[in-house]
Chains A and B, each alone.
Chain A
């Protein structure tokens, strides 16, 4: 019975086109699957059953065309992307039951593509965290081992796909929040180039770093979803005014002659030896497939986490000022005057991690600290960008581990911010430089998935998919399934 929930988009599409399965049946079975598995996974914060079944019925009545590959496919949306049909909470008490008056541009796009929007997915509060444990509402479990974290902040988005609840989800990535949970759950996660996808309707965390991206079971599925959600949007002035290529067009062209750089610093940052071994094996596979692989240096990598926490927190402290208890969201019933509306609403509405980052941000922007912290972090960022430019002058792609370790235990790191922050040490640099980065399954350690990180040139997602697909075709890592999805 789990077979249906192991299928990729193209396989589901064939069933829909051949009418072996109607969109309504697929939607109903998706909800039944979620109902059965949710007590173990706890990935969803809201479900959209009535609207989803109505939309699927409409699609069935209109008929699903052969070329309309995304029509009728179930999709889940991270809860920091606003939706009119379902509450959007960003996993925070301060937005409990909040209903947006508009849909995010990516939500409009998934609807236009014919996706069936199934529900909203759990995450770290305001996307601040690496384990989904800072959610105010629930603790999502890793699909491979329910005693482990699913990663974060897009932990719900990753676990739901890995557990077979849905074939596709949307996540967001500020310092690794798509790639790290994708690695921890053995799925494909893409953080596209900054500007590739509109962020209109994404609840802002760190505006110079945030990017939305797709999470899927296969590389080609991922490319198909990116096709549908990319493009310039007048409502987001940071979205790039570029034509969107078909990301599947060159996906079968292989890696012969492709130049791949492997940065030595990405194997030094507390990387577990078994993770390093799995990634080195993956790189060898690329050599066998005809790629030219060479070691390079990205010397400023070690400053990434420090610079990131200054920049991201500074931007967060500014972005989260809008949560003031006045126009929407939680207002403290204890507030007796306007100042107390702000202070008590925010103090009662935000969780500890969010408060800590707001305070770090306020501190680093305050007089006396600005030059030593915020400006210095901006300079570190410039040096990191230059590192990448030097490598990409000679190479097509960079490959490295996605994370230093496999998924860690629930509760293991939550009281230790530094250890938690170091979980993103290998993903943060691409956000700092605005580059596209993805994670694909490349092996296992202690029975848990290991992710291979592929970093591309700005707007070079097609080349990344080409390389990722070649690896997927040559290996079986993505075929191994967690027990909850029929594996053993």
Chain B
């Protein structure tokens, strides 16, 4: 199943990525070759085989829900690209791009 440039751009959008026209062409070509490679899996008869998604030896891990005072606010805020009054600052959410939201 070849993947079209349109589908590649759709997947990029879902991934919160944007591609220039030149990039879109390169990505389409390379993704096509990767998808062709993974289609080898089609020859496997998976009937009656359960899929494995983890190889962890612990199945369920719980801990007590105890509040811990971390005192890391200042240190964490120091890593934020833009802050104001002790908060994380981002551009307006209800701006043009999200006006219809």
Residues of chain A touching chain B, judged by Cβ–Cβ distance below 8 Å, are 98-99, 101, 194-195, 208, 234, 237-238, 240-241, 300, 302-303, 305-307, 309-311, 317, 321, 324-331, 335-344, 346-347, 350, 352, 355-356, 358-360, 362-364, 366, 372-373, 375-383, 385, 417-418, 421, 432-434, 458
Contact = CB atoms under 8 A, between A and B. Distances in A.
17 contacts: A101-B72, A101-B75, A194-B57, A195-B56, A208-B55, A309-B34, A309-B38, A321-B16, A327-B76, A327-B88, A346-B15, A356-B34, A378-B52, A381-B52, A381-B53, A382-B50, A421-B37
A305 B37 contact: yes
A377 B44 CA distance: 10
B97 A338 contact: yes
B57 A385 contact: no
B30 A417 contact: yes
A47 to B, nearest CB: 22
Interface string B5-26: 0011001101111110000001
B92 interface: yes
Nearest to A431: B55
A468 to B, nearest CB: 23
Nearest to B93: A338
A162 to B, nearest CB: 30
A300 to B, nearest CB: 8
B34 A418 contact: yes
Interface string B87-99: 0101111011110
Interface in B38-64: 38-42, 44, 46, 49-58, 61, 63
A380 B52 CA distance: 8
A354 to B, nearest CB: 10
Contacts of A311: 53
A427 to B, nearest CB: 15
Contacts of A347: 17-19
- The A interface is mostly helix, strand or loop, or mixed, namely helix
A305 to B, nearest CB: 7
Contacts of A356: 27, 30-31, 34
Contact of A343 (B17, B37, B44): B17
A379 B50 contact: yes
Given A359-B11, A434-B56, 14 more contacts: A195-B56, A303-B44, A306-B39, A337-B92, A341-B90, A352-B26, A356-B30, A358-B17, A359-B15, A363-B31, A376-B42, A381-B51, A385-B55, A417-B30
Contacts of A305: 37
A208 B53 contact: yes
A343 B18 contact: yes
A355 B17 contact: yes
A234 B64 CA distance: 11
Nearest to A353: B30
A317 B15 contact: yes
A365 to B, nearest CB: 9
